[in-house]
Amino acid sequence: MTHLPRIGRRSFLLGLSALAMSANARLAVAATAGTSQAEDGRLVVVILRGAMDGMAVLAPYGDARYRELRGPIALPEPGQEGGLLDCGGFFGLHPRLANLHGYYREGAVLPIHAVAGPYRNRSHFEAQDMMESGAPERLTSGWLNRALESLPNVPSDRPEVGLAVGLDLPLLMRGPRRVGMWAPPRPVRPPPDLYARMAETLHADPLLGPAVLEGLRGRGYASSVLMEEPQRGGGFMALAASAGTLLAAPHGPRVAALEIGGWDTHADQPRRLEPVLGQLDDGLAAMRAQLGEVWDRTAILVMTEFGRTARVNGNNGTDHGTGGAAFLLGGVVRGGRVLADWPGLSEDRLFEKRDLQPTRDLRAIAKGLLRDHLRLPASAIAAAFPGSSGVDAEDGLLRS
């Protein structure tokens, strides 16, 4: 059994000085610049929990059946008051996605429609597990964590290559590769001496000892990088902005994951969807702002567990469906177009006569990013998505 060496109380208190946000507390890992890792690409995955309605967010207004199926929740066409933001003459973004539409016009957003993973049974929990595990069955680890296993370990004075931003560690980031976690500090913090006493007590525990050390190391790094940022409080925009800052730091993590809920819109969908779309749009804009020039080396995949019914229900909402929408954005993305093999909305083209028929596989999009952006070997991609040999990586997602 391997135990950690005892860490003295004084040493721990000195280490915790990095958490104190004093002018001299900046860690060496944040002050050193100009290495090859700093030149590497960044990948962010944003999970939309609750099943976003892809036909509301990226409306196929050019389909003859769109208004018939959507009824009162159909959005006005581009050019009309409160109308869709046009994406090529057939699809239109929800008007609350003005920032995203601006990036689309720059060529930095690739909306993807009629897309889904391999799951077809419309249970939130099962679908989320399979979307994050990357397999047609439930696993205890996530595809992004397993993919990171092929990357070399980082020196002990640097943050882990993967970072989960938020209060929970999503399944996507669980697995054999150790990753960091960061969440906004609470208004009331425990005294530093408490951490020292925890470390003193737990240092010999083979499980808790390394976990405490890793937590403090990651927290010290994050504090040193974020020390000059304004306090933003909670919410997705704050998380996204801080994620951008951490990813942009020299030697910062290369991969991050975060999530936003509120997409389960069975009733009163137009009123409920607009604020959460606003959070997403504002958050992505805040992340871009904090990424600075690193935006040019970044790809952000925004995905949800499944789509919703093609037809509006009796409560001005939509129910659990199948095919949905995803977004890929960032400076490396070959955007300014919609990626879709549009199946059509006629009755015989709907999945089980109720859902948008999925014609693309989310795993192909993720595989394309792992191969072409993180430049992972085929063996790592196969380990990330077991049982998917028939799903090829999507070509042409990135600028050449």
Q: Can you give the residue ranges of every domain in the chain?
A: 42-184+230-340+351-384
CA 336/CA 302 separation, integer angstroms = 16
Go through 144-161 and write b for each residue having 16 or more CB atoms within 10 A of its CB, e for each that does not. Answer: bbbbbebbeebeeebbbb
* pLDDT over 60 (residue 1): no
How much is the pLDDT for 190?
A: 60
Predicted confidence band of residue 261 (pLDDT cuts 50, 70, 90): very high
What is the average pLDDT across 236-250? Answer: 94
Residue 137 has pLDDT above 60, yes or no: yes
> Residue 219: what pLDDT?
61
- The whole-number average pLDDT for the span 267-282 is 97
116 closest CA partner among 260, 266, 392, 307: 307
- For 344-399, write each residue's pLDDT tens digit: 999 999 999 999 999 999 999 999 999 999 999 999 999 999 999 999 999 999 99
At 4-63, the pLDDT tens digits run: 334 333 333 333 333 333 233 233 333 333 444 445 899 999 999 999 999 999 999 999
pLDDT recorded at residue 148: 96
> Do the Cβ atoms of 124 and 305 come closer than 8 Å?
yes
Instruction: Write out pLDDT tens, residues 296-341.
Output: 999 999 999 999 999 999 999 999 999 999 999 999 999 999 999 9
Other Cβ atoms closer than 10 A to 183? 15
**pTM beyond 0.85, yes or no:** no
CA distance linking residue 196 with residue 216, whole number of Å: 10
Continuous segment of H or E residues that includes residue 111:
strand 109-116
Mean pLDDT for 224-249 is 80
Query: Measured between alpha carbons, how far is 277 from 309 in angstroms, rounded to an integer?
Result: 19
Q: How confident is the model at residue 184, as a pLDDT?
A: 80
pLDDT tens-digit series, residues 142-189? 999 999 999 988 888 788 999 999 988 999 999 999 999 888 876 556
Question: How far is the C-alpha of 129 from the C-alpha of 125, rounded, in Å?
Answer: 6
Average pLDDT, the chain: 86
| Higher-pLDDT residue of 204, 356 | 356
Residue 19, pLDDT score: 33
Residue 215 confidence (pLDDT) = 64
Per-residue confidence band for 290, with pLDDT thresholds at 50, 70 and 90 = very high
130 within 8 A of 117, measured Cβ to Cβ: yes
Task: Give yes or no for residue 207 having a pLDDT over 90.
Answer: no
CA gap 95, 244 in Å, rounded: 25
Residue 250: predicted pLDDT? 87
Residue 223 in contact with residue 18, Cβ under 8 Å? Answer: yes
Q: Residue 316 is encoded by which pair of tokens?
A: 């001005």
CATH topology of domain 42-184+230-340+351-384: Alkaline Phosphatase, subunit A (3.40.720)
Is residue 140 very low, low, confident or very high in pLDDT (cuts 50, 70, 90)? very high
Cα separation, 132 vs 117, whole angstroms: 10
Question: Is residue 248 predicted with pLDDT exceeding 90?
Answer: yes
